[in-house]
Chain A
Amino acid sequence: KAGVTQTPRYLIKTRGQQVTLSCSPISGHRSVSWYQQTPGQGLQFLFEYFSETQRNKGNFPGRFSGRQFSNSRSEMNVSTLELGDSALYLCASSPRDRAGNEKLFFGSGTQLSVL
């Protein structure tokens, strides 16, 4: 079974631009979560989707948005990029509606650099 696939692997953007990151979960997994990872901050929760519905959202500004499609693939979008948005963005999937009692399978992430 293929793992969680994130594309692209690396991105370089300039301030003010927008970016879309893609995540394909493990086949059969219906829940997708997104995390931002920066040195010293650990993994900051962005959002969680299940069956195309946003179940939870973290404390990020409205510039960060996401969605999930009927095939469980998910995208996240960041508009009006700022230097502080430079980070590794990780996507994770789990088989069912995660109520905190299922393990997550993480992708390798998209490394975003904002210049």
Chain B
Amino acid sequence: QQPVQSPQAVILREGEDAVINCSSSKALYSVHWYRQKHGEAPVFLMILLKGGEQKGHEKISASFNEKKQQSSLYLTASQLSYSGTYFCGTVNQGGKLIFGQGTELSVKP
């Protein structure tokens, strides 16, 4: 079953923060995050494997609450280069990586 992402779209000014949420109705083994810029292939951001684990890369980090079957992606001090569509992907017991419908992020100068 497809995870649900919120919000569907968000507009930011440079330097502002954003949070993108991803939730599933099924038990999760891991959560993936990818970013896709317009006209390009999705690019891997991070995988979270353990409950409560938080990973980060520069000013983008994420958390994974295994009990609540939720993950959140945190973008701090956003840059123009952060614009794109963010997808969370969830993996359940069957091993399929199922993506959400995406969150479109626009960062304006």
The yes or no verdict on A and B being binding partners is: yes
Q: Which residues of A contact B (CB under 8 A)?
A: 4, 33, 35, 40-45, 48, 55-56, 58, 90, 92, 98-109
Binds A, one of B12-20, B58-66, B75-83, B87-95: B87-95
B101/A33 in contact, CB under 8 A? no
Cβ of B10 under 8 Å from chain A: no
Chain B interface category by residue count:
20 to 34
Cα A100 to Cα B98 with chains together (Å): 10
Given A42-B2, A42-B87, A43-B87: A106 touches B41 (CB 8 Å cut-off): yes
How far, in whole Å, are A15 and B89 apart by their CA atoms in the complex?
32
Q: Which A residue sits closest to B31, measured CB to CB?
A: A100
| Other-chain contact of B44, A33, A41, A99, A103 (Cβ < 8 Å) | A103
| B47 & A101 in contact (Cβ 8 Å cutoff) | yes
Q: Evaluate contact between A106 and B98: CB separation under 8 angstroms.
A: no
Q: Which of A42, A92, A101 contacts B101 (CB 8 A)?
A: A42
**Nearest chain B CB to A34's CB is how many angstroms away?**
12
Bound form: Cα–Cα A115–B43 in Å: 30
Chain B residues positioned under 8 Å from A102 (CB to CB) = 47
Say whether B42 contacts A43, CB under 8 Å. Answer: yes
B102–A42 CB distance below 8 A: yes
In contact, A101 and B30 (Cβ under 8 angstroms): yes
* Minimum CB–CB distance for A40 against chain B, Å: 7
Q: CA separation between A9 and B87, bound complex, in Å?
A: 23
Bound CA span A99–B92, Å: 10
B91, closest chain A residue (CB): A100
B42 and A90 contact, CB distance less than 8 A: yes
CB distance from A77 to the nearest CB of B (A): 21
Cβ distance B100 to chain A, nearest Cβ, rounded Å: 6
State how many angstroms separate the Cβ of B106 from the closest Cβ of chain A: 16
